[in-house]
Amino acid sequence: MARQVTGSAEVAEKLAVAIHEHRLPPGTKLNEDEVGEIFGVSRTVVRAGLQQLAHEHLVDLKRNRGAFVAKPSVREAREVFEARSLLEPTTARSAALRAGKADIAKLRAHVEAEHAALAEGDDGRALHLSGTFHTEIARIAKQDTIAEFITQLVSRSSLIIALYWERRAALCESHAHDALIRALESGDADEAEAVMKSHLLDLYTSLDLRDAPSQPRTLKEALTG
């Protein structure tokens, strides 16, 4: 508690990571006083952070009711992946044309860390790393504007996975990311685009877009864990 955080951006970031790592399940109430106490800031700062997350569709702000971790609908889930399918393949293509040795190394380290997290059973962290991998691609493509959209879509995808994905065992155990790195390394733009496209399709078809379970926990437990 009282981790003494400066500024609303940091609050938003910490909450976003917790959401992305499934430590804060969809539907969780985010009490302003409680969050403020945990981070050692006043409600003013917390509110600003929550508003930022609301803009990113990570939390739902209900008037006079409070903030809740968002629960994307089936419709929204489809739209998110539709948007990703428009943005990411072309971005992967661009990245293939620009990726340097340093970029490739960074991506490899990224996948490395993801596998390590999986190995030690930290599924949440693995999922988060798996997501930021996509953001990294956009960064390599030197498209900050698109990268920001993708970052948001990836976060929302994490919520969608929390709600609609049952077979977590296969959590990105697919070697799509490895294949993507190889395509980027060899500068094969067509291949990179194709791999990304099929990777996204894989993700999408592995969703069970029918029901919406959820298992809430206490806020403090999730955040300090």
Where does this chain touch DNA (CB under 7 A) — which range of 12-20, 44-52, 185-193, 215-223?
44-52
What's the distance, Cα to Cα, between the start and end of the chain in Å?
11
| Residue 42 binds DNA (CB under 7 A) | yes
Hey, what are 203's tokens? 């993700």
Q: Give yes or no for a contact between 194 and 158, defined as CB atoms under 8 angstroms apart.
A: no
Of 17, 54, 61, 179, which one interacts with DNA (CB under 7 A)?
61
Q: Give yes or no for a contact between 171 and 123, defined as CB atoms under 8 angstroms apart.
A: yes
Give CA–CA dist 109/115, Å, rounded.
10
| Residue 66 binds DNA (CB under 7 A) | yes
Residues in touch with its own copies (CB under 8 A): 47-48, 51-52, 55-56, 76, 79-80, 82-83, 86-87, 90, 143-146, 149, 153
Identify which of residues 120 and 144 has a Cβ nearer to its own copies in the complex: 144
Give CA–CA dist 130/110, Å, rounded.
8
| Residue 214 binds DNA (CB under 7 A) | no
Residues that bind DNA (CB under 7 A): 6-8, 29-33, 41-45, 47-48, 61, 63-67
